């Protein structure tokens, strides 16, 4: 047992939705005391850093109700049950940008909010982009606008908070390194 491990004593599912579920776990702490943990279960997601042949990054802008504002992000989406993350990433790239990629590479995974959620995002890099004649349709409730920018412009958007989400800021750091190499 890890010296900081919390043993689950009981678990109570409060809500099960289309994307997430919420439960409260009672845990036994390392010192023997008990505490409650409010936890969100999420199936995970992928995010893609699409890099054009001229070294620009393709970003999407969309409204995010949880923050009540539009955000500029890298293309991303939820993993469907039983779906391989590579399949999810290629699907999301096509649905959100209309592009495919000749070179597609897994980069890294990370936890988004480990204090209360188990969501893991898997980051991919897409290069050798090509336009798909009849791309798969995106989600019917998703309204997005595409644009390209340089890595310097993306860094500026992080600094002035137009890029406000962690996965995109994280991806910009990786893209900068990739574009230097």
Set 140, 148, 155, 156: catalytic member:
140
Secondary structure letter of residue 96 according to DSSP: H
d(CA 47, CA 124): 6
In terms of phi and psi (left: phi > 0; alpha: psi -120 to 50; beta: otherwise), the region of 119 is beta
Tell which residue, 109, 111, 123, has the closest CA to residue 40.
Answer: 111
Give the whole-angstrom CA distance, residue 171 versus residue 49: 7
Alpha-carbon torsion (81, 45, 108, 175), positive or negative: positive
**Is-catalytic flag, 156?**
no
Cα 47 to chain center, whole Å?
A: 5
Catalytic amino acids? 140
């Amino acid at each position: 047992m890890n010296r900081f491990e919390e043993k689950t004593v009981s678990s109570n599912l409060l809500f099960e939705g289309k994307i997430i579920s919420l439960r409260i776990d009672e845990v036994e702490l390392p010192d023997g005391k008990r505490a409650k943990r409010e936890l969100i279960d999420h199936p995970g997601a992928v995010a893609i850093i699409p890099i054009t042949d001229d070294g620009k990054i393709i970003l999407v802008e969309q409204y995010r109700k949880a923050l009540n504002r539009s955000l500029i992000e890298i293309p991303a989406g939820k993993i469907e049950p039983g779906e391989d993350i590579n399949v999810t990433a290629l699907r999301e790239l096509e649905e959100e940008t209309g592009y495919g990629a000749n070179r597609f590479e897994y980069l890294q995974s990370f936890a988004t909010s480990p204090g209360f959620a188990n969501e893991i995002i898997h980051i991919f890099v897409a290069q050798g982009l090509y336009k798909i004649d009849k791309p798969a349709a995106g989600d019917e409730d998703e309204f997005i606008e595409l644009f390209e920018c340089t890595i310097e412009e993306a860094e500026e958007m992080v600094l002035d908070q137009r890029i406000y989400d962690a996965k995109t800021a994280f991806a910009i750091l990786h893209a900068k390194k990739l574009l230097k190499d």
